[in-house]
């Protein structure tokens, strides 16, 4: 577990095993260091999985929060990433399944 991408990448490089990679929590990294698109693009070889959530509050990926998830998703896709994306937010909407469907749509 790490709070900064550079620390996690350094650990990946030190261990040097292709199966040891980062779970990049986009919400957490935005809070801790910002500049997520550039950081993801520079370090994609060390990332195996992404988590999403809106900032602030760890809620839906909607227009009320500061991250532009469609732009983040395009940047991730441009790297050729084929791993997993987990939507790890706390829905405020009455129907959490609609919130999940919207998150998936915004990521595509």
Domains present along the chain, CATH in parentheses: 5-107 (3.20.20.150)
Q: What is the pLDDT of residue 1?
A: 62
Query: Strand, helix or coil at 94?
Result: coil
Put simply, whether the predicted model's pTM sits higher than 0.85 gets the answer yes
- pLDDT per position as a tens digit, 30-69: 999 999 999 999 999 999 999 999 999 999 999 899 999 9
d(CA 12, CA 27): 21
Q: pLDDT tens across 79-94, in order? A: 999 999 999 999 999 9
Side-by-side strand order, sheet with 47-52: 22-25, 47-52, 84-87
CB 29 within 8 A of CB 72: no
């Amino acid at each position: 577990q790490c709070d900064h991408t550079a620390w996690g990448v350094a650990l990946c490089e030190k261990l040097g095993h292709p199966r040891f990679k980062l779970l990049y929590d986009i919400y957490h990294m935005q809070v801790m260091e910002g500049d997520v698109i550039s950081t993801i693009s520079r370090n994609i070889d060390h990332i195996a999985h992404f988590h999403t959530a809106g900032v602030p509050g760890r809620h839906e990926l909607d227009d009320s929060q500061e991250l532009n998830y469609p732009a983040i998703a395009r940047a991730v896709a441009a790297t050729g990433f084929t791993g997993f994306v987990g939507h790890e937010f706390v829905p405020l909407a009455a129907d959490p399944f609609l919130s999940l469907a919207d998150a998936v749509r915004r990521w595509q």
